[in-house]
Amino acid sequence: MKSKYLHIQTIGCQMNVYDSERIIEGLAPLGYQVTDSPAQADVILLNTCAIREKAEQKAFSYLGRLAKLKEKKPSLIIGIGGCVAQQEGERIIRRVPHVDLVFGTHAIERLPDMIRRIARMRCRVIDVEMSETIRESVPGAPSHRSGPTARFVTIMRGCDNFCAYCVVPYVRGRETSRDPDAVVEEIKCLTAAGTREVTLLGQNVNSYGRKEGLCSFPRLLEKINAIEGLFRIRFTTSHPKDISDELIQAYKDLEKLCHHIHLPVQSGSDRVLKRMNRRYTRERYLEKIDSLRRACPDIAITSDFIVGFPGETEDDFQDTQDLIRRVRFDSVFAFKYSDRPNAPASGFSNKVAETEKADRLRRLFELQAEITMEKNEELVGAIETVLVEGESKKQTADDPDPSDRMQWTGRTSSNRIVNFSFEKDPPCFGDNLVGTLVDVDIKKALPHSLWGRPVEGSVRSTCMKGASSYAA
């Protein structure tokens, strides 16, 4: 079979990263290999995100740039998928003449058939149909997955929360959970192929299984915790209103559950939270944080914020800053509010000026940068267990190591990036440190990472305490 090449561009969230991986797996049996070069590709797919206006603009400008490639190579198939495709559907086909395929968020399983059809008949195809159930197209992951150390696994899709600013319920549909056995099977396959850490994905993982009467989210965590060979479990995203005592208890009981939670609060003002339809108050949020910290004192807490939501005043924004000071998040994501199609807030009055939004965003980042740095500095002198993910790409300016020495990178349980190198190369592992756990003595704090030296004899390829370890 002649080699055929697929180039895939992923914009947006982790959910899209997972979907792109499934697309690659689905097209492999048709003979498509992944290429980094759009010029070499026979198929170019763009997996898009519509959550904020900026991501959507990025998708359209990328699509525009592909026109020239199509002119040079008329057989090239260009497809756009994901949330923007779901939202815009036929309009894209009408607006962008060089697009052959528009596939929505529920159409990934049907993609190989569509590509085959387009290649054979040179037709244009739209599939933005949504279904209420998740078809498990592959019972477990295909065995050819030879995975990087840390992988994403979607456990549910869609959302029923209808936050006033959010497009997700309209482009990803209603909340639907995958069968727990299928999830466990998939993670077992990934683990057999070398994955050591999974991040479970869903818009609101705390309500996993509730609608379908499947097991609860903490029970799913328990099942995954029992998978041999897996070292670490993470999940995202949690809705503060749905954090249960059972989940908080899981941080005490499940040794593989990482000491980190991403708990988007969006605003520190009760008035804004109410208009956002978030269904919790700042006090309730702070209580949840207290309970989490009581159960797991070293838990890292990260969050999302929107600044300049319609009607947000300077006082509201100061409440947000106050909440940030009170919680002392480990790090945060923050965004300027943008109107999204169908989302009720796009019809709200009292829109905040762009300049004001930009100013609030800058102030928020400045405040958080100080806190993140202080928190990173608190870790200097601590020994942190790092799961090694690969070689570190760039050396930091403060790195005292010679530039020709191999640098490794990985994450702590709290999701901090740690770069490190051995003073001399590790005798047992050579360049095969990926997927091992290493205890690192933290020597330096940087704004977005930590740097340290491995503890002698601490490199291990098992998460069992006291089991075989190797001299570094």
Q: Select the binding partner of residue 84 from ligand SF4, ligand 5AD, none (C-beta < 5 to 8 A, by kind).
A: none
Q: Select the binding partner of residue 239 from ligand SF4, ligand 5AD, none (C-beta < 5 to 8 A, by kind).
A: ligand SF4
Q: Does 163 bind ligand SF4 (CB under 6 A)?
A: yes
Binds ligand 5AD by CB under 6 A, chosen from 152, 165, 317, 329: 165
Q: Does 81 bind ligand SF4 (CB under 6 A)?
A: no
Q: Select the binding partner of residue 158 from ligand 5AD, ligand SF4, none (C-beta < 5 to 8 A, by kind).
A: none
| Three-class secondary structure of residue 207 per DSSP | helix
Scanning the structure block, which residue is given the tokens 């208009």? Answer: 275
Q: Which stretch binds ligand SF4 (CB under 6 A): 160-168, 222-230, 362-370, 393-401?
A: 160-168
- How far does CA 139 lie from the centroid of its chain? 23
DSSP class of residue 257?
Answer: B
Taking the complex as a whole, how short is the minimal distance between the CB of residue 157 and ligand 5AD, in angstroms?
A: 15
Q: Which stretch binds ligand 5AD (CB under 6 A): 335-343, 364-372, 379-387, 419-427?
A: 335-343
**How many residues of this chain interact with ligand 5AD, rule: CB under 6 A?**
12
Handedness of CA 314, 315, 320, 323 (dihedral sign): positive
Nearer to ligand 5AD, 66 or 324 (CB): 324
**Which of 113, 89, 129, 139 is closest to 23 using CA atoms?**
113
How far is the C-alpha of 93 from the C-alpha of 110, rounded, in Å?
Answer: 18
Q: Which stretch binds ligand 5AD (CB under 6 A): 83-91, 225-233, 330-338, 405-413?
A: 330-338
Largest Cα separation within the chain, whole Å, is: 65
Q: Select the binding partner of residue 161 from ligand SF4, ligand 5AD, none (C-beta < 5 to 8 A, by kind).
A: ligand SF4
Q: Does 203 bind ligand 5AD (CB under 6 A)?
A: no
Q: Select the binding partner of residue 159 from ligand SF4, ligand 5AD, none (C-beta < 5 to 8 A, by kind).
A: ligand SF4
Handedness of CA 142, 153, 251, 380 (dihedral sign): positive
State the angle between helix axes of 217-225 and 245-253 in degrees (0 to 180), rounded to the nearest 10: 10
The structure tokens listed for 262 are 């991403």
Q: Does 159 bind ligand SF4 (CB under 6 A)?
A: yes
**Is residue 189 within a helix (H) or strand (E), and if so which, with residue range?**
helix 180-192
Q: Does 288 bind ligand SF4 (CB under 6 A)?
A: no
Binds ligand 5AD by CB under 6 A, chosen from 10, 238, 331, 338: 338
- Edge-to-edge, what's the strand order for the sheet holding 32-34? 32-34, 4-10, 43-48, 77-82, 101-103, 125-127
Q: Does 166 bind ligand 5AD (CB under 6 A)?
A: yes
Binds ligand 5AD by CB under 6 A, chosen from 44, 51, 78, 141: 51
How far is the C-alpha of 133 from the C-alpha of 178, rounded, in Å?
Answer: 8
Q: Which stretch binds ligand 5AD (CB under 6 A): 145-153, 278-286, 287-295, 331-339?
A: 331-339
> Using CB under 6 A as the criterion, what x/- string covers residues 185-214 for binding ligand SF4?
------------------xx----------
How far is the C-alpha of 356 from the C-alpha of 223, rounded, in Å?
Answer: 47
DSSP letter string, 318-342: HHHHHHHHHH--SEEEEEE----TT
DSSP class of residue 243?
Answer: -
Nearer to ligand SF4, 329 or 408 (CB): 329
The structure tokens listed for 424 are 């001399």
Q: Tell me which residues in 280-299 interact with ligand 5AD (CB under 6 A).
A: none
**Which of 10, 277, 18 is closest to 165 using CA atoms?**
277
DSSP letter string, 113-158: HHHHHHHHH---EEE----SS---SSSS--TT----SEEEEE-EE-
Nearer to ligand SF4, 162 or 333 (CB): 162
Taking the complex as a whole, how short is the minimal distance between the CB of residue 411 and ligand 5AD, in angstroms?
A: 21
DSSP letter string, 265-302: -B-S-HHHHHHTT----HHHHHHHHHHHHHH-TT-EEE
Nearer to ligand SF4, 148 or 344 (CB): 344
**How many residues of this chain interact with ligand SF4, rule: CB under 6 A?**
10
Binds ligand 5AD by CB under 6 A, chosen from 58, 340, 416, 460: 340
Q: Does 14 bind ligand SF4 (CB under 6 A)?
A: no
- Residues near ligand 5AD (CB under 6 A) are 51-52, 165-166, 264, 266, 304, 306, 335, 337-338, 340
- Residues near ligand SF4 (CB under 6 A) are 159, 161-163, 166, 168-169, 203-204, 239
